[in-house]
Structure formats: C-alpha cells, structure tokens
C-alpha cells in the first residue's frame, strides 16, 4: 500500500492544479507522512494480545494473556480492562514473563485477574500501554469452579520445605488448607498464577501424612478440592531430579543437577550421586553436600547415562531418588555467562536481543561479577582472559559466595594498572580449554 503522501502528490500531478493548491497539498502530504509515521510508531510501541489461556474463567480467576509489549515487569506501564455488555471493568495484573533483552519484539505474557463485576457469558480483554489499546481477545466467563490439582512437588519434605502445587483454574484468593498427622488445621491464602500456587510446610507440622485441599470461602461457598497428601518427615530424603532443566556436560566435567527442591540438601552430611551406564554403576560424592555440583566420571562414555541421588544425615541414608536419564556430550561444554555487574552494581543481562547493551562500563581496579554456569570443580579452574590495548592478560577469579546453594557467580578483580579503552573478555576452563567470550565490550574509563 502506498503512503498517503505519495497518493496526494499523484492527485496533484493528474489534476494539474495551480501552484497555490500544489503548495497546500504538499503541506497536507507532509502532515500525512507525519501522521502515518505516528500510527506506525503507535503500532510498534503499543501492546499486542494474541491469545489467552485458559479461554474461560470465573470471578477471581488468574488468566494469562500472550502477546507482545505487555510489560509484565512494570505494572504501572500496562493496564488491562474487561469489556462486557458495553461496560469496562479494570482488572488487576499479577506479573508474567518476557524475553530478556527483547522488551518490544519478544513474546511476553501478562497475568490478569477476572474482576468481580463481570457475569457469566462472552467477554473481551484489552491491554492499554502508552495510551494505545490492544485488539480485544475473547474469553468466556463461567460460574465459579474449584481448581484442578495435577501435581505437587516435592511429594515429601521436612518442616520448612516449600511445596509447589501445579493446578489449572486457580483463583488469586484461593485458600490452602493443611491438616497435619495430628489433626492440626492451618488455613491461609497464597497468591499464585495460572499454573498454580505453593506453600511452605509449617515449622511446627507433625511428622506423618499431611492432607492438603484448595478452596475459596468468598466465591466457592466453602467447597474444597479432593484432598491430596504429602509426607512430612525429618528423615533424610533424596532429591526429586529434573532431567529437562539439567544442562548436559561431557564425561570428566562437572554438572549442576536440577531438582524440584534443594531442601533435602540443607541438612545433608553426605550427598552421593550414582551414574549408571552399560551395566556398571559409579558413585560420586559431592564435595559440598549442600550443593548439587558434582563431577561426571571420566570413565563414562558420551551418550545416555542414568542418574540417582541420595543424602545422608546422622549416619542414615535416604532412599535413592527416582532415576532420570541425561545425555552426556561428545565435546566439553564451555562455561556460559548470563549477566555481568560490578561487585556493587546492577546486573546487565547478556542474553541475545535487540535491547542488549553494547558495552559494560568499569574502571581499573574494579571487581567484576559474572553469573552463569561453570562445568568445572571450582573458580580456581577458570581463567578470565582480557584482550585489549595492553595485549592479553589472564586472571584467576574467585567464587563470589562459597556458601551459596549454587556455583553460579564468580568475581574477578581488574588490575589497577590496566589501560583504559575497550577490552574483550573470555572465560575459559583450565581443564579442557573450552571457552566463551562475553558478547559485549568491557569499556574501561
């Protein structure tokens, strides 16, 4: 489609109007160009809603809008309204997700809460940002129904363990009712999302089977879901491993095992990992029992390996965890870096995206912190290589916090005499030489 300005000039030439008319229409054409650019900018900057999950909800339900430029991290920037029967009802928003370093172009979600004023029947939702409204997305309002619980993780834990409840049809003010093995009742509201909610096992909960129900006094007429059970115990427990979230490494490297909860490790005196492949089993102990960072035996071969974990406390071992299967890589995996900051500064995210910074400002003598995944035993097995005006310099980092649950942040102090200018930074493994370059310039001033 041609721009309106070009169309106006076409009309001018065809009609052969007088110079005065020509000047007027040229001015009009300029105005139309500005208007067109304004509309294009509005469409680029305004919110876009493509879908809603689920497509039905009742009063107090949490719905997830999907689209672009929804600004889930800034609730003041985007507002949501429900439109029904010619009326507009403002809705609360409850967070969401977005692509790092891609605020305008990447897919985002925004959770909205169905307002009290709507009634069963067809409804539309619009999002407004920067004075621009999205195209409405259609939903159906239904009578109140209880959420459907699909899973709880972990299935057992000691007092204080956080338990995640996966469910559909969750309402923001649904109550969680706990009944411990001695019959003690605890009821509380817990905010959640479209995917569910969670709670921490009370510190004074009795050991034994705890019964859990979800309900809603205000809208659900004191009805509750069917009860589901959780084992509360102070005995040592295995980890509930997650193969999908664990980044694979090669034999001989170090792996960070992912789990539904790290609570079993908090009091573990010995954490053992069993690697099983080709009919043989190799058991490795984590150097720090409270941290799921362990070495993968070099004797293993690339390909599938079965992994199990158990913990020990007061001389007693837990059962082995349910096995998961991981894929060991052929080549060593390099470190990965997700963010960078000064020791006393804010994170600069390094993931790809059009909004990623092009450089990172620092000064000679500063301490720089890098966050990521490091498939080595500890920070002493890493090298930070800087290449710039003075040539190349290799530095040995230290771990930012040796008492943290994860080995995911290292710190390197820049020499006081380092020349000002632009530097490139590479993080390498001293064990196998695998390396990764920080994707933005380190600019020293």
The residue extents of the domains of the chain are 4-45, 49-141, 148-232, 254-328, 336-444
At 169, list the tokens: 């049809």
| Topology of the domain covering 148-232 | Immunoglobulin-like (2.60.40)
**CB-based burial of residue 164 (10 Å sphere; 0-12 exposed, 13-18 middle, 19+ buried)?**
middle
**237 φ, ψ to 5°?**
-125, 150
- Rounded to 10 deg, the angle between the 19-45 and 4-15 helix axes is 160
Q: Which residue, 134, 166, 171, 139, is CA-closest to 153?
A: 166
Question: What is the CATH code for 254-328?
Answer: 2.60.40.10
Question: What pLDDT score was predicted for residue 260?
Answer: 87
Is the pTM above the cut of 0.95? no
Question: What is the CATH code for 336-444?
Answer: 2.60.40.10
Question: What pLDDT score was predicted for residue 38?
Answer: 33
Whole-Å CA distances, 83 to 78, 99, 135, 141, 145: 16, 28, 12, 11, 22
Question: What pLDDT score was predicted for residue 401?
Answer: 95
- In the three-class reduction of DSSP (H, G, I as helix; E, B as strand; rest coil), residue 43 is classed as helix
Do 336-444 and 254-328 have the same topology in CATH? yes
CA–CA gap between residue 166 and residue 182 (Å, rounded):
26
Q: How many helices (H) and strands (E) does the chain have?
A: 3, 35
Residues written for the chain: 445
Name the residue with tokens 């102070």: 234
Please give the order of strands across the beta sheet that includes 148-153. Answer: 148-153, 162-168, 196-200
Which residues are CB-contacts of 49 (< 8 A; sequence separation ≥ 6)?
A: 65, 66, 67, 70, 125, 126, 127, 134, 135, 136, 137
Q: Which residue, 157, 190, 158, 159, is CA-closest to 174?
A: 190
**CB-based burial of residue 425 (10 Å sphere; 0-12 exposed, 13-18 middle, 19+ buried)?**
buried
**CB-based burial of residue 37 (10 Å sphere; 0-12 exposed, 13-18 middle, 19+ buried)?**
exposed
CA–CA gap between residue 127 and residue 132 (Å, rounded):
8
Question: What is the CATH code for 49-141?
Answer: 2.60.40.10
Question: What pLDDT score was predicted for residue 44?
Answer: 60
Q: Which residue, 289, 315, 310, 287, is CA-closest to 376?
A: 287
| Structural element, H or E, at residue 151 | strand 148-153
Largest CA distance in the chain: 101
- What are the pLDDT tens digits along the chain (445 aa)? 222 333 322 222 222 223 223 232 233 333 333 333 333 344 467 999 999 999 999 999 999 999 999 999 888 888 999 999 999 999 999 889 998 899 888 999 999 999 999 999 999 999 999 899 999 999 999 999 999 999 898 889 999 899 999 988 889 889 999 999 999 999 988 777 788 899 999 999 999 999 999 998 888 888 899 999 999 999 999 999 999 999 999 999 999 999 988 999 999 999 999 999 999 999 999 999 999 999 999 999 999 999 999 999 999 999 999 999 999 999 999 999 999 999 999 999 999 999 999 999 999 999 999 999 999 999 999 999 999 998 999 999 999 999 999 999 999 999 999 999 999 999 999 999 999 999 999 999 9
CA–CA gap between residue 245 and residue 352 (Å, rounded):
20
* 62, 193 contact by CB (below 8 A): yes
Paired strand residues for 140: 56, 122
- In the three-class reduction of DSSP (H, G, I as helix; E, B as strand; rest coil), residue 60 is classed as coil
Question: What pLDDT score was predicted for residue 31?
Answer: 34
Question: What pLDDT score was predicted for residue 223?
Answer: 86
Question: What pLDDT score was predicted for residue 319?
Answer: 95
Question: What pLDDT score was predicted for residue 45?
Answer: 77
CA–CA gap between residue 207 and residue 182 (Å, rounded):
8
């Amino acid at each position: 489609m041609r721009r309106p300005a070009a169309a106006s000039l076409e009309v001018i030439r065809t009609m052969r109007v007088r110079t005065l008319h020509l000047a007027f229409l040229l001015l009009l054409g300029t105005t139309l160009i500005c208007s067109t650019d304004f509309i294009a900018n509005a469409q680029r900057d305004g919110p876009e809603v493509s879908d809603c999950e689920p497509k039905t909800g009742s009063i107090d339900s949490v719905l997830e809008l999907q689209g672009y430029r929804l600004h889930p991290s800034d609730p003041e920037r985007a507002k949501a309204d429900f439109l029904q029967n010619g009326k507009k009802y403002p809705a609360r928003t409850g967070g969401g997700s977005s692509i790092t370093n891609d605020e305008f172009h990447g897919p985002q979600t925004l959770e909205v809460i169905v307002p009290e004023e709507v009634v069963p029947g067809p409804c539309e939702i619009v999002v407004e940002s920067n004075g621009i409204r999205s195209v409405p997305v259609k939903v159906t309002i239904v009578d109140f129904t209880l959420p459907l619980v699909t899973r709880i993780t972990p299935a057992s834990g000691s007092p204080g363990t956080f338990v995640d409840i996966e469910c559909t049809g969750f309402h923001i003010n649904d109550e969680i009712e706990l009944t411990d093995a001695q019959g003690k009742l605890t009821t509380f509201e817990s905010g959640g999302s479209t995917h569910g909610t969670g709670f921490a096992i009370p510190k004074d909960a009795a050991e034994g089977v705890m019964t859990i129900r979800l309900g809603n006094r205000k809208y659900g007429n004191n009805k509750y879901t069917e009860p589901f059970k959780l084992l509360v115990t102070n005995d040592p427990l295995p980890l509930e491993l997650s193969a999908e979230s664990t980044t694979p490494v090669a034999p001989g490297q170090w792996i960070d095992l992912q789990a539904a909860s790290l609570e079993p490790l908090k009091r573990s005196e010995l954490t053992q990992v069993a690697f099983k492949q080709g009919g043989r089993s190799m058991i490795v102990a984590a150097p720090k029992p409270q941290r799921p960072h362990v070495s993968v035996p070099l004797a293993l071969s690339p390909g599938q390996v079965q992994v199990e974990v158990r913990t020990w406390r007061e001389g007693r071992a837990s059962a082995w965890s349910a096995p998961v299967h991981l894929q060991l890589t052929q080549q060593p995996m390099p470190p990965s870096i997700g963010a960078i900051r000064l020791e006393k500064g804010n994170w600069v995210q390094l993931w790809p995206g059009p909004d990623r910074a092009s450089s990172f400002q620092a000064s000679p003598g500063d301490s720089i912190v890098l966050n990521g995944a490091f498939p080595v035993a500890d920070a002493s097995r890493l090298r930070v290589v800087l290449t710039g005006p003075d040539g190349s310099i290799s530095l040995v980092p230290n771990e930012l916090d040796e008492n943290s649950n994860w080995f995911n942040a290292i710190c390197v102090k820049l020499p006081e005499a380092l020349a000002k200018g632009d530097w490139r930074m590479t993080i390498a493994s001293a064990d196998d030489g695998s390396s990764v370059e920080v994707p933005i310039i380190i600019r020293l001033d």
